[in-house]
Amino acid sequence: MNVNSDLFPCVRADIEELREGVVLLPGYCSTPELYKIVKRVLKFAPFRYMRTPGGRQMSVAITNCGSVGWLSDKNGYRYSEFDPLSQLAWPDMPPEFFELAKNAAAVAGYPDFEPDCCLVNCYSTEARLSAHQDKDELCFNHPIVSVSMGLSAIFKLYGTKRGGTALDIRLDDGDVLVFGGAARLAFHGVARVLARGPDGHQGLEFLPEQRINLTFRRAL
Provide the binding-site residues for ligand MD6, judged by CB under 6 A.
121, 129, 134, 144, 146, 155, 177, 179, 188, 190, 213, 215
DSSP secondary structure, the chain, as one string: -----SSS---SS--EEEETTEEEETT-S-HHHHHHHHHHHHHHS--EEEE-TTSPEEEEEEEEEESSEEEEETTEEEEESB-TTTSSBPPPPPHHHHHHHHHHHHHTT-TT---SEEEEEEE-TT--EEEE----SS-TTS-EEEEEEES-EEEEE--SSS-SPPEEEEE-TT-EEEE-GGGTT--EEEEEEPPPPTT--SSBTTBSS-EEEEEEE---
> Closest CB to ligand MD6 among 89 and 191?
191
For position 172 contacting Fe ion by CB under 5 A, the verdict is no
Point out which span in 7-15, 28-36, 129-137, 196-204 binds Fe ion (CB under 5 A): 129-137
Write down the least CB distance from residue 208 to Fe ion, Å: 25
> Closest CB to Fe ion among 36 and 132?
132
Write down the least CB distance from residue 134 to Fe ion, Å: 4
- If contact means CB under 5 to 8 A according to the sort of partner, which of Fe ion, ligand MD6, none does residue 70 touch? none
Burial class (CB in 10 A: 0-12, 13-18, 19+), 59: middle
Write down the least CB distance from residue 205 to Fe ion, Å: 28
Write down the least CB distance from residue 67 to ligand MD6, Å: 19
> Closest CB to ligand MD6 among 45 and 61?
61
> Closest CB to Fe ion among 134 and 175?
134
Nearest CA to 107 out of 80, 145, 136 is that of 145
Write down the least CB distance from residue 41 to ligand MD6, Å: 16
- If contact means CB under 5 to 8 A according to the sort of partner, which of ligand MD6, Fe ion, none does residue 104 touch? none
Write down the least CB distance from residue 127 to ligand MD6, Å: 9
In the complex, residue closest to ligand MD6 by CB: 146
Which parts of this chain interact with Fe ion (CB under 5 A)? Answer: 134
